[in-house]
Amino acid sequence: GRSAMAAVQDVEIDPEGTFKYILVRLQRPGGGEQRDIVRGTKAAEFHNHIFEKVNLEMEKLGYECKCIGGGKIEHNSKDKKIRVFGLSTAYGKADHSVTVEMLKKEYTDYEITWSDDKK
């Protein structure tokens, strides 16, 4: 029930560098509760690599996943800055403002910005 969804972290991104990220909507089959999560890592060459991994993890917990867009994250932990930008060719552009709100909850002492810039 609720505890499983609560156990899923809102945000999981690499601690440093510039990498692809996706916004994923989790839903209980048949409607029910839903929420969005942010996932990003340098290990992924393409956005769908991130999605495939998340999808597997979430299916085990009984969720249906839908990628609702992607982009890039530039994470500078030294200066405590995160920049969200770009888009995913496969999934389209995520709503970066949603991503930023979620990042702000996780990285409370960071300066976090977003733009529609490609680079």
Under a CB-based contact definition with an 8 Å cutoff, are residues 47 and 67 in contact?
yes
The residues, any chain, with a CB within 8 Å of residue 3's CB and separated by 6 or more, are none
DSSP 94: -
In whole angstroms, give the CA distance from residue 6 to residue 4: 5
Active site residues: 47
* Residue 44, number of CB atoms within 10 A of its CB: 19
CB atoms within 10 A of CB 20: 22
Q: What angle do CA 8, 68, 34 make, to 5 degrees?
A: 45
Question: Is 20 labeled as ligand-binding?
Answer: yes
Which residues are documented as binding site? 20
Which residues are documented as binding site for substrate? 20
